[in-house]
């Protein structure tokens, strides 16, 4: 039962953080299209690790994480107002290149010259 509640709280935090990111005015954050990949919360809700990624590359994502770190007090306060939690966790922003990595894999797969019609004919024989 506690695991279900923790998963629901994690999803609520992820949803509200996405909305708060759109309201930030720091140019390090607004210049980059950020996506929250994953949110991990400790069992006692003392720390929340937010994994952030963007298509622009890991360097811009790291720079955006610095902007998010400087605005973490504001983000934490807004999170506390929007979610009725007894204790709002401390936020740790971590840059990851998972979106860039998946886009590269997609480009590689699209560049392969595989003829689908020949594959379908082989399956019917």
Alpha-carbon 68 to chain mean position: 13
Mean pLDDT of 48-77: 92
Residue 58: give the domain boundaries. 2-124
What is the SS3 assignment for 37?
strand
pTM of the model: 0.77
Instruction: State yes or no: pLDDT of 1 exceeds 50.
Output: no
Q: Measure Cα distances from 68 to 49, 57, 76, 81 in Å.
A: 12, 17, 11, 18
Q: What is the pLDDT of residue 13?
A: 94
Say how many domains are in the chain: 1
Instruction: State yes or no: pLDDT of 104 exceeds 70.
Output: yes
Read off the CATH number of the domain in which 107 is found: 3.30.300.20
Report residue 85: phi and psi, to 5°: -105, 145
Average of per-residue pLDDT values in the chain:
86
């Amino acid at each position: 039962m506690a695991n279900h509640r923790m998963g629901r709280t994690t999803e609520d935090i992820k949803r509200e953080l996405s909305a708060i990111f759109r309201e930030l005015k720091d140019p390090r954050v607004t210049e980059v299209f950020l996506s929250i990949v994953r949110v991990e919360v400790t069992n006692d809700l003392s720390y929340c690790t937010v994994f952030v990624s963007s298509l622009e590359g890991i360097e811009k994502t790291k720079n955006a994480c610095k902007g998010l770190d400087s605005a973490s007090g504001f983000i934490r306060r807004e999170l506390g107002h929007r979610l009725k939690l007894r204790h709002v966790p401390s936020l740790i922003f971590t840059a990851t290149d998972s979106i860039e990595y998946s886009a590269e894999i997609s480009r590689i797969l699209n560049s392969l010259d595989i003829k689908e019609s020949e594959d379908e004919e082989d399956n019917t024989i």
